[in-house]
């Protein structure tokens, strides 16, 4: 049996419908909240190269962490633009803090993005030219000496053969002593951690080489027109595959001068990159840097690109009408540049500087 609603109920339903219609009209006039009305705060930090003190000073000054190193940035997006490792002693400390913040930030509505730098790729590829003793020492434990001895014994024949190829008169004792001197404690653990199957190698491979957040593209070295044309997703796919395979061939995206980890063509003419390109002719002249920048931004649908890799010790540089931003200011004590970070809120770009803490 159908129940008949009383007049008060009917009037209440009519009032609700009128109120909802009025609210809908108001939303059409005022508009719903948008990114433009509530712009996202992005903090971008350049190359750190093993300087944990500098990183901590920047992170605190930017309001990203509290006094205990935990996330305090709320809904901020932090982008660390690569090259955490090498040149300084405390790369592992920085990585561990960033890994922690990658877990903590989402709980507060924020995010931490670590862009892959060429020096992280070098670690995975076994290129330790710039790795410092402190970076190896960070991996030392009470089993390090025994592990190193086992590695020597397992590779003794090959080590002795390589040594004798240089000096046939070397005794086994001299060869061993030389190898130990060249292989500090922690080296074995460091190499294992950074291998493609190692904990840090896998972590680095998961980090993007190029990331676009709102209207801004972040990349470590730079984005050449050639790679920009392939698309960000394809670049990251190729980089991840090359990291998994430890591809260090000259044509690898990890080592090539046109690739996103090494490209310097947006900061000046890069002879290595130019050698990879077809020769310029009168019919096809080489585009200017500004023209290439225009092509890169068009290909990525971005307003600006933020890069590190090439130090500029005078501070963050906002160039080409705000379309190119260089944030590698030599933050590490190795370079002695200013401690800086870039804040992006909507279309407002604000460079910041904090004083270097005492050693």
- Block residue for tokens 């676009």: 212
CA neighbor of 226 nearest in space, from 254, 255, 253: 253
> How many beta carbons lie within 10 A of that of residue 18, not counting itself?
10
Phi, psi of 292 (to 5 degrees): -65, -40
Q: Are residues 103 and 251 in the same domain?
A: yes
Q: Is residue 193 part of a domain?
A: no
| Angle CA 66–69–72, to nearest 5 | 40
Q: Are residues 291 and 342 in the same domain?
A: yes
CA neighbor of 245 nearest in space, from 79, 93, 125: 125
Provide mean pLDDT across the span 76-105. Answer: 98
Q: Are residues 230 and 337 in the same domain?
A: yes
Q: Are residues 227 and 336 in the same domain?
A: yes
Token pair recorded at residue 169: 């008169």
What secondary structure letter does DSSP report for 322? G
Q: Is residue 108 part of a domain?
A: yes
Q: Are residues 125 and 159 in the same domain?
A: no
Q: Is residue 13 part of a domain?
A: no
The whole domain housing 170 covers: 141-185
Burial of 318 per CB tally in 10 Å (0-12, 13-18, 19+): middle
pLDDT of residue 292: 97
Asked if the model's pLDDT at residue 38 lies above 90, the reply is no
In order, the DSSP letters of 210-241 are EEEETTEEEESS---HHHHTT-HHHHHHHHHH
DSSP helix/strand/coil, 221: coil
Q: Are residues 273 and 172 in the same domain?
A: no
Asked if the model's pLDDT at residue 21 lies above 70, the reply is no
Q: Are residues 169 and 307 in the same domain?
A: no
DSSP-assigned beta bridge partners for residue 352? 341
Number of domains in the chain: 2
pLDDT of residue 311: 97
Asked if the model's pLDDT at residue 161 lies above 90, the reply is yes
Q: Are residues 311 and 243 in the same domain?
A: yes
Asked if the model's pLDDT at residue 148 lies above 90, the reply is yes
| Side-chain-side CA neighbours of residue 311 (13 Å) | 16
pLDDT digits (tens, 9 = 90+) for 191-240: 999 999 999 999 999 999 999 999 999 999 999 999 999 999 999 999 99
Instruction: Please state the pTM of the whole predicted model.
Output: 0.87
Q: Is residue 176 part of a domain?
A: yes
Q: Are residues 151 and 98 in the same domain?
A: no
Rounded CA gap, 183 and 245, in Å?
25
Asked if the model's pLDDT at residue 4 lies above 80, the reply is no
Q: What is the largest CA-CA distance in the chain?
A: 110
Rounded CA gap, 141 and 279, in Å?
54
Of residues 205 and 32, more confidence is placed in: 205
Q: Is residue 191 part of a domain?
A: no
Rounded CA gap, 260 and 309, in Å?
10
pLDDT of residue 6: 52
Residue 39's pLDDT band (cuts 50, 70, 90): low
Residue 285's pLDDT band (cuts 50, 70, 90): confident
334 neighbors 359 (Cβ within 8 angstroms): no
Provide mean pLDDT across the span 44-52. Answer: 98
Contacts of residue 344, defined as CB under 8 A and 6 or more positions apart, other chains included, come to: 41, 42, 43, 44, 216, 350
CA neighbor of 144 nearest in space, from 193, 184, 195, 94: 184
DSSP-assigned beta bridge partners for residue 41? 345
> How many beta carbons lie within 10 A of that of residue 187, not counting itself?
22
pLDDT digits (tens, 9 = 90+) for 299-308: 999 999 999 9
Contacts of residue 293, defined as CB under 8 A and 6 or more positions apart, other chains included, come to: 266, 305, 320, 323, 324
pLDDT of residue 359: 86
């Amino acid at each position: 049996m159908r129940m008949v609603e009383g007049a008060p109920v009917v009037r209440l339903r009519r009032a609700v419908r009128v109120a909802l219609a009025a609210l809908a009209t108001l939303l059409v006039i005022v508009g719903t909240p948008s990114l433009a009305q509530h712009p996202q705060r992005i903090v971008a930090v350049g190359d750190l190269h093993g300087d944990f003190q500098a990183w901590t000073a920047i992170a605190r000054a930017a309001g990203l962490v509290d006094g205990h190193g935990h996330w305090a940035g709320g809904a901020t997006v932090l982008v660390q633009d690569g090259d955490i490792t090498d040149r300084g002693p405390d790369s592992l400390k920085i990585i561990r803090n960033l890994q922690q913040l990658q877990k903590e930030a989402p709980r507060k509505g924020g995010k931490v993005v670590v862009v892959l730098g060429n020096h992280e790729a070098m670690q995975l590829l076994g290129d330790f030219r710039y790795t410092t003793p402190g970076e190896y020492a960070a991996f030392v434990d009470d089993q390090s000496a025994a592990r190193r001895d086992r590695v020597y014994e397992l590779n003794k024949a090959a080590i002795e053969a390589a040594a004798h190829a240089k000096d046939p008169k070397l005794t086994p004792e001299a060869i061993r002593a030389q190898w130990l001197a060249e292989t500090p404690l922690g080296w074995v653990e460091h190499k294992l951690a950074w291998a493609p199957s190692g904990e840090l190698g896998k972590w680095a491979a998961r980090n993007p080489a190029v990331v676009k957040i709102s209207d801004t593209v972040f990349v470590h070295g730079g984005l050449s027109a050639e790679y920009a044309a392939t698309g960000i997703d394809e670049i990251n796919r190729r980089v991840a595959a090359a990291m998994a395979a430890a591809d260090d061939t000259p044509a690898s995206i990890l080592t090539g001068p046109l690739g996103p980890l090494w490209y310097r063509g947006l900061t000046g003419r890069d002879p290595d990159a130019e050698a990879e390109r077809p020769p310029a002719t009168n019919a096809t002249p080489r585009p200017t840097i500004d023209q290439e920048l225009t092509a890169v931004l068009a290909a990525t649908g971005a307003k600006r690109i933020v890069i590190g890799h090439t130090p500029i010790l005078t501070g963050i540089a906002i160039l080409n009408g705000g379309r190119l931003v260089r944030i590698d200011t030599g933050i590490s004590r190795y370079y002695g540049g200013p401690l800086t970070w870039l804040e992006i809120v909507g279309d407002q770009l604000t460079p910041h500087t904090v004083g270097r803490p005492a050693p």
